Amino acid sequence: EKSGYDHYMLKEIHEQPKALRQCLRGRIDDLDGAVDLEDLADLDHEGPVQFVACGTSYHAALFGAERLREAGVRAQAFLASEYASDRVPIDDETLVVGVTQSGETADTLRALREAARAGATTLAVTNTVASSAARECDHTLYIRAGPEIGVAATKTFASQQLALALLAFTLGDGPTREELEALRDIPGQVRTVLETTDARAVAEEYVDADAYFFIGRGYHYPVALEGALKMKEITYRHAEGFAAGELKHGPLALVTEDTPVFAVVTGDGETARKTIGNVKEVEARDAPVVAITDGESDVTRYADHVLEIPAVGDLGGSVLANVQLQLVAYWVANLLGRSIDKPRNLAKSVTVE
């Protein structure tokens, strides 16, 4: 049931406020000012964390690893298909976290099984109750996004981001009151983005571009990768995501006046300043710049278009910026008449290695 939307993808993008509220429900303890994950009541872990995941879930894993490191936990993200427990240090102090919305992705299951054999504790972060990952892992954290029909992962990515933020507050430094409030505010801010977005106009402007580039740093780096993946898979157009600092190490050669660059910039600290430096580099090559920003910095001066998000810091900002990029990809694909819910050559759940 598409509830009046033309595609499941658009419906699921609009379901994100609800999905995120469900992800948070009962998991914030106001009295204690703490995150309380009942799913993980019997997980007591102090060692390093390794994430394994594929595709969109890998982007969530990169985000999760960054968040865990910020919370003081040693954490790394691996592509499940490249993960080999005999080539990374792993022992019974290691927690290996499979991020998989379906819980059935063959590469991720293989990596988790290998990690378990090597003595690691395993945790599935999944949307699917009683999936293989949930059944096989020592622990399971449900993201509670609700069913997702569109092949392109949208609300499951946002819910993974939020669930991994909760996990970081559980395994690492606990949250401040402000951080808890900020988490709780995210669903409402996603709604604001959905109500105010100019993504359709941006898509109309750039539907005929040669290629689309996405840049970001820190929490926004995985969002740049995810923005590009969404664009590729549903529009069949060339799109690439880069860590903003990497542009000048090669990809800048591809930048022309026909390659819009989507730059995610929040706040006005060091990270923002550096990304703005990269924005100036592409602007000097006449590339159109679309800034996804909270307006805290002067990036808008160098941008041809602005996709605004509320000012909520880098963590929440990355969730909100991603929603804008989902919508740009959706509208480009829509204008091109693509098979949005079932892109060619792709399956919702990839059960072969």
Which of the residues 103 through 122 are near ligand M6R (CB under 6 A)? 105, 108
Least distance from C-beta 317 to ligand M6R, angstroms? 21
Between residues 266 and 322, which has the closer beta carbon with respect to ligand M6R? 322
Between residues 103 and 218, which has the closer beta carbon with respect to ligand M6R? 103
Query: Binding to ligand M6R by residue 12, rule CB under 6 A?
Result: no
Length of the chain measured in residues: 353
Query: Binding to ligand M6R by residue 140, rule CB under 6 A?
Result: no
Query: Binding to ligand M6R by residue 193, rule CB under 6 A?
Result: no
SS3 per-residue string spanning 110-171: HHHHHHHHCCCEEEEEECCCCCHHHHHCCEEEECCCCCCCCCCCCHHHHHHHHHHHHHHHHH
Which of the residues 68 through 107 are near ligand M6R (CB under 6 A)? 100-102, 105
For 321, list phi and psi in degrees, rounded to 5: -60, -40
Query: Binding to ligand M6R by residue 55, rule CB under 6 A?
Result: yes
* 153 contacts: CB under 8 Å, gap ≥ 6: 55, 56, 57, 101
Which amino acid, one-letter code, is at 91? D
Query: Binding to ligand M6R by residue 233, rule CB under 6 A?
Result: yes
When binding is defined by CB under 6 A, the residue of 153, 167, 199, 309 that contacts ligand M6R is: 153
Gap between the Cα atoms of 20 and 160, Å rounded: 9
Query: Binding to ligand M6R by residue 19, rule CB under 6 A?
Result: no
Give the SS3 label for residue 69: helix
Gap between the Cα atoms of 170 and 162, Å rounded: 13
Give the position of tokens 């559980």: 170
Contact stretch for ligand M6R (CB under 6 A) within 44-52, 134-142, 145-153, 241-249 = 145-153
Q: Is the sign of the CA dihedral 230, 351, 54, 191 positive or negative?
A: positive
Query: Binding to ligand M6R by residue 275, rule CB under 6 A?
Result: no
When binding is defined by CB under 6 A, the residue of 152, 171, 228, 319 that contacts ligand M6R is: 152
What are the beta bridge partners of residue 2? none
Q: Say if residues 293 and 309 touch (Cβ distance below 8 Å).
A: yes
Least distance from C-beta 170 to ligand M6R, angstroms? 21
Between residues 102 and 297, which has the closer beta carbon with respect to ligand M6R? 102
Q: Shortest Cβ contact with ligand M6R: which residue? A: 55
When binding is defined by CB under 6 A, the residue of 23, 54, 62, 209 that contacts ligand M6R is: 54
Between residues 136 and 296, which has the closer beta carbon with respect to ligand M6R? 136
Q: Which residues bind ligand M6R (CB under 6 A)?
A: 54-57, 100-102, 105, 108, 151-153, 233, 349-350
